[in-house]
A = this chain, B = another copy of it.
């Protein structure tokens, strides 16, 4: 792990006790910066809250942080359409913050209701990087990518049923986007999108 990058715990498959123990150890090593734990079960979030009172539990993101978040530099706008995509969007947003950029969270903007999306065009243009989260057919990044030239990272989610095949449909849709300049991460990988977008936003100079 490159010096200065925050430590991150991937909580899936870990017991609440393991999560708390790792958080505590990593926090002691670098008390001056935040440790992030993602993919926490209900039990793990509850145990973190009780065992580490100074930790902050982010319920929607199914995550927790311990230690002070860095000063934000640059801005990442995180867009999503439905309530089902909210956990992935929240994981992305929190990952952006922990990796040192600011977040503008834009929810409830879907391709089947264009006016809400058109109403937030200014916020898109003001961002240094966009994260667009969508399940089902994953069409939102194509539409957003047609509206703005800000670098755009698309996150397919496993939201859907039947022929969504666990997020495959959204993933393929985003990879085939007709809007140029769209990049994609793994299904439900809000964390990876957040790390990437924070790097882009932090490096961005003043807008020209």
Q: Which residues of A contact B (CB under 8 A)?
A: 1-2, 5, 8, 12-13, 81-82, 84, 110-114, 118, 128-129, 136-139, 142-143, 145-153, 156, 158, 160-189, 191-193, 195-196, 199-200, 203-207
Contact = CB atoms under 8 A, between A and B. Distances in A.
A13 B192 CA distance: 25
A186 B176 contact: yes
Given A12-B161, A167-B162, A181-B199, A149 B204 contact: no
B191 A180 contact: yes
A157 to B, nearest CB: 9
Contacts of A128: 203
B162 A180 contact: no
A84 B176 contact: no
A189 B162 contact: yes
A111 B181 CA distance: 15
B149 A5 contact: yes
Given A137-B176, A142-B111, A183-B183, A163 B171 contact: yes
Contacts of A177: 136-137, 139
Contacts of A110: 146, 178
A191 to B, nearest CB: 7
Contact of A176 (B1, B151, B170, B200): B170
